[in-house]
Amino acid sequence: MDVQITNRQSVIQIVKAASSDIIGTLGGDTFSFALGLMLLHTTHSAISFGLGSIIYPLVGLLLVMPVGNLVDCRRHKPLLLTSRGVALLAFVGYALLANRVNNVMALAVVVLTILACADKVTSTTYTASIHELVNDEHIKTLATIEQAATAGIQLISPVLAAALYGWIGFEGIVAVEIVAESLTWLIALSMHFHPLKVTDEDAADTDKTQWEQFKVGLVFIRRHFTLFTIVTIGIFLNFLFSSIDVGLPYAIVQTRHLGNARLSWILSAFAGGVLVGNLVLSVLPRFKNVLVAVLRLAMLLGVLIGVIGGLFLVPISSFILVASLIGISFIIGGVLAFVNTPMSVYMQMTVPTKLLGRVGSTFSTLLQLALPLGTAFYGFAFQKVSAGPIYLVTGIVIVLYIGGNYLAIHRHASAEQNTPD
């Protein structure tokens, strides 16, 4: 019989998990920014800030099957401690080798690859172990707090990284990251996992091939209409939202020549919206129909992106343009919080715990792969076409796609009602 997790135990675990997220994410973001600066100054290569965005999706794709299977077949706490320990050793090794290796780019690629492998195991294990840490009543609270913490860190990490880089240099930041990783490992060690009972069916899974084990998760996604729809919508939106990451910097700095400071205000508004959205979401009850709520909010996102296109098409002053983009960015961030967190909670509440590793690994990898594909597509598009038409068309595509899914849901619901018992 599975151990019942009390509310008090859940609250303690939430505090530990949030603390680990804050320390780990802040340290990781600071290191990534500083690494990009160091490589840029050392190699003068334009790819300096893009290494992570290339390596992490590729590693995620290669490891999606073995990591998903591994997490669903092994105890989670030892896996989590091992993956975090590997990350810590990678930073220690990097600190020891940084001044002894001439090819800094090659060393960075090796270290980032090791970190990407460790992070894939860590994130998948953590997703699959939520039910071992908190009870069902606190899953939504944990998700919203973590999302809010991540958004808050995104607001301050670039400024903090730049300040630390100028103050203690890259070597100092590596040392700080070693301390941060040590703290996250100790927090993971202190967390109390409540392993769920292993059935004979679960034990039999280990005798199957890697593909046979992994296929179970894919079949589960495909057979559950709501989950499959949420996965496909998430991939679709991630691809199209690359237009924000690629297009706004190009349109604001290169096309309109409004400067880096104004761009930072607009991008910070996104993170601010996500932060506020998750804080509001934390005090609201769970959505009764997650899929319908997500579709309506996703349609609103399409409308807002279309409005951004309209702003670039009409003749308005720079002040009105920037102020409008800050406001819209904040709203989009808030809406994204109301989309992402319920999707995460729904997956936790719907997918059997024994499949969370495989389903979570598949979902996160597909979402991650959508970003570089979208970046490549929109990077080319913004070189050829102005921002206004691109955002307008992107907004219309989102509205039409989500509208089509909305109609499909009603047809699916009607078919289920008309199906005899």
Tens of pLDDT, residues 101-110 = 888 889 999 9
Cα 226 from chain centroid (whole Å) = 20
State percent of the chain over pLDDT 70: 90
Report residue 129: phi and psi, to 5°: -105, 5
Q: Is pLDDT above 70 for 225?
A: yes
| CA-wise closest residue to 94 among 111, 72, 117, 70 | 111
pLDDT in tens, 317-345: 888 888 999 999 899 988 888 887 777 77
| Residues 105 and 49: beta-carbon distance below 8 Å | no
Q: Is pLDDT above 60 for 202?
A: no
d(CA 191, CA 74): 17
d(CA 63, CA 121): 9
Q: Is pLDDT above 80 for 347?
A: no
| CA-wise closest residue to 32 among 54, 17, 16 | 54
Please name the residue that has the structure tokens 């970003």: 371
Q: Is pLDDT above 70 for 199?
A: no
Mean pLDDT of 283-312: 84
pLDDT in tens, 13-29: 888 888 888 888 888 88
pLDDT in tens, 120-153: 899 888 888 888 888 878 887 777 777 777 777 7
Q: Is pLDDT above 80 for 8?
A: yes
User: Rounded mean pLDDT of the chain?
Assistant: 81
- What does the DSSP 8-state code read for residue 75? -
d(CA 186, CA 182): 6
Amino acid 365: pLDDT: 79
Domains of the chain: 7-197 (1.20.1250.20), 213-415 (1.20.1250.20)
d(CA 342, CA 294): 8
Mean pLDDT of 244-248: 77
Q: 3-state DSSP call for residue 174?
A: helix
Amino acid 197: pLDDT: 64
Confidence grade of residue 183 (pLDDT, cut at 50, 70, 90) = very high
| Residues 22 and 10: beta-carbon distance below 8 Å | no
Buried b (16+ CB within 10 A) or exposed e, 174-188: bebbbebbbebbebb
Amino acid 397: pLDDT: 92
For the entire predicted model, the pTM comes to: 0.72
pLDDT in tens, 37-69: 788 778 776 566 667 777 888 888 888 888 888
Confidence grade of residue 417 (pLDDT, cut at 50, 70, 90) = low
Angle at 293 between CA 365 and CA 409, to 5 degrees: 80
Q: Is pLDDT above 50 for 244?
A: yes
d(CA 362, CA 358): 6
| Residues 307 and 244: beta-carbon distance below 8 Å | no
Mean pLDDT of 270-293: 78
Q: Which two tokens stand for residue 214?
A: 């992994």
Q: What residues contact 44, with CB distance under 8 A and at least 6 apart?
A: none
Confidence grade of residue 300 (pLDDT, cut at 50, 70, 90) = very high
Q: Is pLDDT above 50 for 200?
A: no
Q: Is pLDDT above 50 for 400?
A: yes
- Give the lowest-confidence range in 161-165, 232-236, 256-260: 256-260
Q: Is pLDDT above 90 for 217?
A: no
Confidence grade of residue 228 (pLDDT, cut at 50, 70, 90) = confident
pLDDT in tens, 71-102: 888 888 999 999 999 999 999 999 999 888 88
State percent of the chain over pLDDT 90: 18
d(CA 340, CA 94): 34
Mean pLDDT of 163-175: 87
Instruction: Please tell me which residue, 276 or 285, carries the higher pLDDT value.
Output: 276
Upper half-sphere CA count for residue 418 (Cβ side, 13 Å): 6
